[in-house]
Amino acid sequence: MAIDYGDARIGLAVSDPTGTICGDAWTMEEWNMERAAARIAEEASARNAETLVLGLPKNMDGTEGPRAEKSRAFKALLETVTDLPVVLWDERRSSIEAHAILHANGRKEKKHRKTVDAVAASLILEGYLGKI
């Protein structure tokens, strides 16, 4: 299961049972980190997830800023709550690519907010699946 973690919305994506492609993606709205981790734990359990892949936002030069620190803190929380391994995955450009995909498919910019995090999570998942 891939996670595009944000302050208000979290994109989630799971692979098909064979771990070949992204099978489902959706967005969860949650402001509280602990409640978000608990909800993700429920989803991971219900979908028999074996690994969580958490997007790690990096600057274009590869350095890490405050958003990366939040992701690292969320990783530690997820490991505690889920007992699953959590892999940090470089998510540079995932949101930009997600917006481009939605735009190319005729989605209006205003409506991107509702789905961009789910698309970003699927891109994170596809990148991870392509490397394992």
With beta carbons less than 8 A apart as the criterion, state whether 116 and 51 touch.
no
* pLDDT surpasses 80 at 88: yes
Q: What is the pLDDT of residues 4-39, one digit of tens each?
A: 998 888 999 999 877 777 789 999 999 899 999 999
Q: How many domains does the chain have?
A: 1
pLDDT at 45: 95
pLDDT at 120: 84
Q: Which residue has the higher pLDDT, 95 or 63?
A: 63
pLDDT at 117: 81
Neighbouring residues of 68: CB distance < 8 A, sequence distance ≥ 6: 56, 57, 58
Residue 98: which of 126, 119, 112 has the closest Cα?
119
Mean pLDDT of the chain: 84
As a whole number, mean pLDDT of residues 66-83 equals 94
User: pTM here?
Assistant: 0.82
> 120: domain CATH number?
3.30.420.140
Label residue 124 left, alpha or beta by phi (over 0 means left) and psi (-120 to 50 means alpha): alpha
Give me the domain span that covers residue 76.
2-131
Q: What is the pLDDT of residues 42-62, one digit of tens each?
A: 999 999 999 999 999 877 787
As a whole number, mean pLDDT of residues 101-106 equals 62
